[in-house]
Structure 1
Amino acid sequence: AIIVLTGGTLRLEKGFELLSAKLAGKLLVSGVDKGVQMEEVLGAAGLTPDELECCVTLGYMAEDTGSNAIESAVWIRTNKVASIRLVTSSYHMPRSLLEFRATVPGADIVPHPVFPEHVMVQEWWARPGTASLVIAEYNKYLLAATRHWLRGIEGE
Structure 2
Amino acid sequence: MIARLAGFLVLAYAIGFVVFALTLQAPAGHIKTDAVLVPTGGAGRIARGLEVLRDGDAKQMFVSGVDPEVKAKEFAKEFDVTAREMRCCVTLGYLAVDTRSNAGEAAQWFASNDIRTVRLVTTDWHMRRAAAELAYSIPENVTVVEDAVPSVPNLGQLYLEYNKLLAALVTQGWTG
Q: TM-score, normalised by structure 1?
A: 0.85
Structure 1 residue 37: Cα displacement: 1.2
The unaligned stretches of length 5 or more in structure 2 are 1-34
Aligned equivalent of 2:97, options 63, 77, 84: 63
Matched, 1:44 2:74: no
In the alignment, the residues of structure 1 paired with residue 78 and residue 49 of structure 2 have an alpha-carbon distance, to the nearest angstrom, of 12
The 1-side partners of 2:79 and 2:73 are apart by: 10
Q: Aligned partners of 1:9, 1:22: CA distance in 2, in Å?
A: 22
Q: C-alpha deviations, 1:2-22, integer Å up to 9, x for none? A: 100101230000001110111
Structure holding more helix per residue: 1
- Shift in Å at residue 42 of structure 1? 2.1
Q: Secondary structure at the match of 1:96?
A: helix
Aligned to 1:136: 160
| Seq. identity, % | 39
Aligned twin of 1:109: 144
Q: Which one has more relative contact order, counting CA pairs under 8 Å at least 6 apart? A: 2
- CA–CA distance in 2 between the matches of 1:146 and 1:34? 31
1:84 correspondence with 2:118: yes
Report the TM-score when normalising by structure 2. 0.75
Work out the CA distance in 1 between the residues paired with 2:42 and 2:59: 22
Distance of 1:102 and 1:73 partners within structure 2: 10
Equivalent residues of 1:69, 1:100 under 8 A apart:
yes
CA shift at 1:33, angstroms?
Answer: 0.3
Taking the aligned partners of 2:118 and 2:85, their CA distance within structure 1 comes to 21
The letter for the 2-side match of 1:9 is A
Distance between the aligned counterparts of 1:49 and 1:7, measured in 2?
23
